[in-house]
Structure 1
Amino acid sequence: MTGNLVMIGAFVLSVALMLAASIAVKYWRRRDTRRSPLHGKKLANLPGQQLVGRMNDHSDELLLASIVMYFSFPVMLLAWAMSRVQWETVQLRTMDWLFVIGAIAMFAYGLRRFVVHWGAKTRARDGLVAEQMTGQLLNRLIGPNCIVAHDLPCEGFNIDHIVIAPRAVYAVETKSFRKPRGSSDDSHYKVTFDGEALRFPDWRDDAPVIQARRQAQWLARYLRESLGREIPVIPAIALPGWWIDRTEESKRSDVRVFTPMGKGADFLLTGQEVLDDSTRTLVAQAIALRYPAIED
């Protein structure tokens, strides 16, 4: 009986510490002075969105079922061993305390991984919402003169959106940067593009510009090898939820930075026609070949 109570107490202690740590992490995250630029915006469901939610629920249940099966014999073995311990004669020696230290170390390691992946999940969620918002707004451009594709698998990376327009093919990289909650002059939601980097209210970042150029170069090379001709590819960065302040240097840059909100993406359809209907169709077919086949 004593052994069962000790085992139950150990499980209860782990659960209690886990819940306390989860609550503490959530509280700490809520004190963050930055928030998503799309906070409060409405986002329509994508096709099959409810089914994706159901699939995620079933995935969680499958993981739980797998954990139960994996630990079934070890847990029962532990219960069997605990029931045969003579607790009246147990004395904790130095070696025994090492197991306690090991348990604390394992919990600390799990807590650290929890915090790391909590932050990674938050960033991934912000990125997902930004990509979905940008994708839905870019889909408005679809028509006789424009084809839009999303999340193109490449060589170790992906291109968030591809707009095949009369002027050129645009390789669009969507970014979601959290912004300060407020300021006296509304500068907290403005970002300036100087042609080489994005200058936010309290930091500067050139990595998105470098990434957009690299991805556009890859797409141009892929289309050249697939179609046997040069296809103009323009790198672009979408910043949903931000106000873009363009400088004279940005107007001369090869990278286009824009917000897809409102009519911010309409410029993608402007300019002199370089790619006719048949060429745009060939480009779309070459891009479609990069997507994986559906498997059972």
Structure 2
Amino acid sequence: MDWLSPLFTSLLVVALYLSPLFLLTGIAIYTKRLLSKNRTSPLGADLLRPAGYSLQKTIDDLQSDLMGVFIAIPMMSSSVPLIFLAQEKLSDKQLGWGTWLFAVCTVVAVVGYQIYKSVGIVKRLAILRLGLACEMAVGQELEQIIRPENHPYRIFHDLQFDGFNVDHLVVSPNGVFVIETKGRSKQVVDGKKQARVRLENDTLHFPGHFEKKPLEQVRMNVRTVKRWLADATGFDVPVAGVLVLPGWYVERKQRAMDPYVLSAKELPTQLPRLSAGALELGQVKAVSYQVEQRVRNVDRERV
């Protein structure tokens, strides 16, 4: 039959195979529109960015990509053979071994790529989830700082700049503190966690490796924030950097001031003792206002 051409048969099989997925997608879109019809958020302003907001968005995107891979693998591994089988049955024509070899190679190549992609996503998700947990832990520790009226503190999270973000920013009469969180896994040796990091010669010495880039990153962030605040407020704002290593005991073999290096547990007691420079109450409010305008961009309708 002419209408049962190989192309038409393939399209017909694909349409029948994917019709439940299309139906489910259509129902979901219709339900979403129905629920949002004539409704709006009761909030009158956008929300402040919470701790780890950028990381959470990246994790959500990667999880969606991973779900797409999980859907693509069984669909590809079954749809291609199904198309060729349908062509044989409907057109009553036996396909050659070359056609089947092509089908098998296509399935193996596509599925192999999807497996390779999924492994990369899973590895990245593990790293991002560690970073998110650490940023949330630091944010919770910051919230515990005692803030009397004559010594006010304002705490902001996930301050966005071109190409990077500041994890946390504290505005206080002691100056502005740019806080960078670094989550590092602990090694386990003979059943014991290695939880000590040594700061020496401007280097972080972890068990088994050392790092300098986190210290350099905090200094770069401090310079960027200082320039931006000077332009935004019209006066010179004292800014200092703090590198926080959640879960680690920091052994200092040098005087840590540029940046300060703390564990998360030290923040509530040590941060009020640090000083970047003096700010009057009016200056604290002016700086806080400028920072708030920058971070108040979480769409209340999308939360």
Q: State how far apart, in whole Å, the 1-side matches of 2:247 and 2:139 are.
A: 14
1:85 aligned partner, one-letter code: E
TM-score (structure 1 length as normaliser) = 0.68
Per-residue CA deviations over 1:33-92 (Å, capped at 9, x if unaligned) read: xxxxxxxxxxxxx99xxxx9xxx7xx97xx88xx89xx9xxx7x9967743414986354
- Contact 2:142-2:267 within 8 A present in 1 as well: no
Q: 1:83 aligns with which of 78, 86, 89?
A: 86
Pick the aligned partner of 1:116 from 107, 120, 123: 120
Cα gap change, 1:197 to 1:90, in 2 (>3 Å): farther
- Indicate whether 1:159 and 2:162 are aligned: no
After TM superposition, the structure 1 = structure 2 runs for residues 220-231 of structure 1, keeping only pairs within 5 Å, are: 220-231=226-237
Does structure 1 conserve the Cα–Cα contact (< 8 Å) formed by 2:141 and 2:267? no
Q: Give the match's secondary structure for 2:264.
A: coil
Note closer, same or farther for the CA distance 1:163–1:91 as it changes in structure 2 (3 Å cut).
same
1:125/1:293 CA distance change after superposition, 3 Å: closer
Q: What is the CA–CA distance in structure 1 between the aligned matches of 2:100 and 2:164, rounded to whole Å?
A: 49
5+ residue gaps, structure 2, are 1-8, 18-49
CA distance 1:238–1:108, change in 2 (3 Å): same
Q: CA deviation at 1:155?
A: 1.8
Partner residue of 2:240 out of 234, 244, 250: 234
TM-score of the aligned structures, taking structure 2 as reference length:
0.67
Percent identity, please.
22
Which range moves more in the overlay, 117-126 or 81-90? 81-90
- Structure-1 separation of matches of 2:95 and 2:88: 12
Please list the CA deviations of residues 227-256 of structure 1 after superposition, one character each: whole Å capped at 9, or x if unmatched.
1111111111111101101112xx154111
**Between Structure 1 and Structure 2, how many residues are aligned?**
233
Stretches of structure 1 lacking an aligned partner (at least 5 in a row)? 12-45
Cα RMSD over matched residues? 3.5
Distance 1:254 1:139, change over 3 A: same
Query: What SS does the corresponding residue of 1:141 show, helix, strand or coil?
Result: coil
Q: Deviations over 1:12-36 (max 9, x none)?
A: xxxxxxxxxxxxxxxxxxxxxxxxx
Which of 168, 189, 193 aligns to 1:182? It is 189
Q: How does 1:129-144 map to 2 (within 5 A)?
A: 129-141=133-145, 143=147, 144=149
Q: Distance in 1 between matches of 2:218 and 2:268?
A: 17
Structure ranking higher on relative contact order (CA contacts 8 Å, 6+ apart): 2
State the alpha-carbon separation in 1 of the partners of residues 250 and 270 from structure 2: 14
